[in-house]
Copies of this chain bind each other. A is one copy, B any other.
Amino acid sequence: MADSVTTPRGMRDFLPAEKARREHALRVIREVYSAHGFDEIETPAMENSERLYGGLGGDNEKLAFAVMRRALSADDLAMAAASGDPLALADLGLRFDLTVPLARFYATHRGQLPPVFRSIHIGPVWRAERPQKGRYRQFVQCDIDIIGETSTIAEGELFAATSATLEALGLSGCTIRLNDRRVLSGILRGWGIPVEHSGRALITLDKLDKIGADKVAEELRELGITRADVASDIAALAAADWDTVRAAPDWLDPTAAAHLLALHAAFPDIQLQFDPTLVRGMGYYTGTIFEIAHPKMGYSLGGGGRYDGMIGRFLGEDVPACGFSIGFERIVDLITLPDDQRSRAVVLVHDADVSVTTLLALKRSLIARGDRVRLERRVKNMRALLDRAALEGFDVFSNVTSGSGDASTLEFRSLR
């Protein structure tokens, strides 16, 4: 029977060892982001449907879990059946990202926030995706955003905080790939792609890593591209570097180029790569876009960009904003938990007849010395029990009988 008792499809339990790693990562992330001047906020798991399905979430809106209205009547059900629209029965939905809730939060509380607001926003999000390796229906997002800052100092602070966090997690040597939506627009314009097809052209260009320059060029031709040798253009773009930016080619938006160079100058010790083929999916980006990667990993560990038009959507006015989202679920798989900082983790193995009073008094005095303490009743197979405790990070054990004195008289033996 037990085999059939599982979590909902695509959702996970975390057992102690993995949960400890997750909490360690969250502690480090919070600490470093806080040192960098960011302040943590929290928003609820649900948002009202009309905001969640307001068009800010792109394709992710279609993946939202809808929450049914309470006390639905027979009439409500009949009306939904007649209209064929199940969403008529839902008034709430589970958030599918933290960006829509952040925009809503900012609109709700703007008067209480500083002019430049640096937020840490961490929490689970839910998407009804087809479950597959490394993709879950509930997962943690971990965002920092700077709202109210137009200058590239915002991007700079995000890069500094994010790379310091990854370093503190033991993932040093990361590389940030950097581009700007205006650079991409300039490239598409140079190729003669009509503005109405630019969205589809970017989706195509985004597949460069997977399908190669020739295939991208072929797909772009279907979008009405006028230029002959696009494949070699693409190859040239993929080879671009900071010298390319300094050379100020025609297709390079000059404002974007100035921003990119300012950021490059500010990070002598971070690997900052200019990559004019970097796209990033979300349609709301308006300026700089970036992704962070580790040399040992074939995939991005996070990314973000500037999205000046979006945060103000619920306010009715534009507010500049820039954010970086680290891929928590990917990062947590890469880190190792440092040795516990407590002096010792102790197992007290006790006979069944030792009184509650004695056991709790011993436990209390060991905890007061800084130990972590677990009680275990003596069983026949002590070896298995102690081996398991050692695996779970315990260091020593001691035998407690009804004749044991206080904690100072206990003898401890190593579990390793």
Contacts and interface: CB of A to CB of B under 8 A. Distances in A.
Interface residues on A, range: 35 or more
B45 A126 contact: yes
Given A6-B108, A41-B15, A44-B8, A360 B156 contact: yes
A11 B363 contact: no
A108 B360 contact: no
A37 B72 contact: no
Contacts of A8: 44, 46-48, 92
A82 to B, nearest CB: 8
A177 interface: no
A156 B361 CA distance: 10
Interface in A64-92: 65-68, 70, 72, 74, 76-78, 80-81, 84, 86, 89-90, 92
Given A5-B104, A8-B46, A266 B376 contact: no
Q: Which of A23, A42, A266, A267 has most B Cβ within 10 Å?
A: A42
A316 B4 CA distance: 12
B35 A116 contact: no
A90 B267 CA distance: 51
Contact of A20 (B40, B65, B68, B151): B40
Contacts of A153: 356, 359-360, 375
B35 A367 contact: yes
Contact of A72 (B40, B86, B128): B86
Interface string A93-133: 01000000000110111101111101000001010100000
A14 to B, nearest CB: 4
Contact of A13 (B108, B372, B374): B108
Given A7-B108, A8-B48, A118-B374, A42 B14 contact: yes
Contacts of A14: 41-42
A88 to B, nearest CB: 9
B372 A34 contact: yes
Contact of A316 (B1, B109, B113, B385): B1
A236 interface: no
Contacts of A12: 44
Nearest to A153: B356
Interface in A1-41: 1-2, 5-8, 11-16, 19-20, 22-23, 27, 30, 34-37, 39-41
Closest 6 CB pairs of A and B: A37-B374, A16-B39, A11-B44, A81-B81, A14-B42, A77-B81
30 contacts: A1-B316, A2-B316, A5-B51, A6-B108, A7-B47, A8-B44, A14-B42, A19-B42, A23-B30, A35-B371, A36-B367, A37-B372, A37-B374, A45-B94, A66-B68, A67-B68, A74-B84, A77-B80, A77-B81, A80-B81, A86-B89, A115-B379, A118-B374, A151-B352, A160-B364, A263-B356, A265-B357, A266-B355, A266-B360, A266-B361
